[in-house]
Amino acid sequence: SFILAGLYEGKPFNACNDITIDEKGRIYFSDPRYLGHEPVDQPVMGVYRIDTDGSVQRIITDAGKPNGVAISPDQKTLYVVSNDNGSTGLDRLPEGVSTRKGRMALLAYDLHENGTATFRKELVDYWPEDGPDGLVCDKSGNLYVAERSLKRPGIAIRDPEGKELGFIPTEVPTNVGFGRGKDANLLYITAGTSLYSIRLNTLGYHLPSHHE
């Protein structure tokens, strides 16, 4: 193994979190900070792109505290979750100290051919409840979002405009992912101390392989 990117403009990332890849082989990842003792060297919690030549670009700076990222099957939308818990070191705060939550939202960005992104709209505003964590798309472009509200935790199935189509209740979830091959309709869910799988009537979206 080797490091694809460890620095941006000569400084370490804050805490790389989630990742997605487009059909041109470019990598997109979020860089928030929730825990840790290291300095926060990047001036913004952003979303970055690693090009196939290894160069790194910061493409989103207005997504609050970005966490989950996913690209639509048509490659035209980059979905970004903002989950801003109000701290860059919650593990170092004394017990009982309160923080003010920031943006808790599911956002959609226009993803351009050159790999840049432009804010389109806020699809879902979760505040004052906790925002989601990870998310993934199916082949039809619908989203499966790990929503962490303590009032109703689980996986929300949403259309590309954010409208809820269905809901799978779980413990507070962290991420979701589809299987491959004959299990491409199997949705895996991580939630606390549990791992779930549920077979759906739709197929997950994956990057085309060289066999396709």
Q: Give the mean pLDDT of the chain.
A: 95
- Residue 115 falls inside a structural domain: yes
Residues 6+ apart with CB under 8 A from 59: 28, 46, 47, 48, 49, 115, 116, 117
Domain-located, residue 208: no
For the record, the structure tokens of 28 come out as: 């997109």
> 112-151 pLDDT, tens per residue?
999 999 999 999 999 999 999 999 999 999 999 999 999 9
Q: What is the DSSP letter of 182?
A: G
The answer to whether residue 39 is domain-embedded is: yes
**Could you tell me where the DSSP H helices lie in 43-99?**
none
> Domain limits at 41?
7-131
Q: Tokens at residue 148, please? A: 């962490």
Burial of 100 (0-12, 13-18, 19+ CB in 10 A): exposed
How is residue 179 written in tokens?
């299987």
In a domain, 85, yes or no: yes
Tens-digit pLDDT string for the chain (212 aa)? 899 999 999 999 999 999 999 999 999 999 999 988 888 999 999 999 999 999 999 999 999 999 999 999 999 999 999 999 888 887 788 888 888 889 999 999 999 999 999 999 999 999 999 999 999 999 999 999 999 999 999 999 999 999 999 999 999 999 999 999 999 999 999 998 999 999 999 999 999 865 44
Does residue 201 lie within any of the structural domains?
A: no
User: How far is residue 190's CA from residue 133's CA, in Å, rounded to a whole number?
Assistant: 11
- Would 107 be classed as within a structural domain? yes
Query: Is residue 43 assigned to a domain?
Result: yes
The number of distinct structural domains making up the chain is: 1
Distance from C-alpha of 194 to C-alpha of 112, rounded to nearest angstrom: 37
Residue 209 in domain:
no
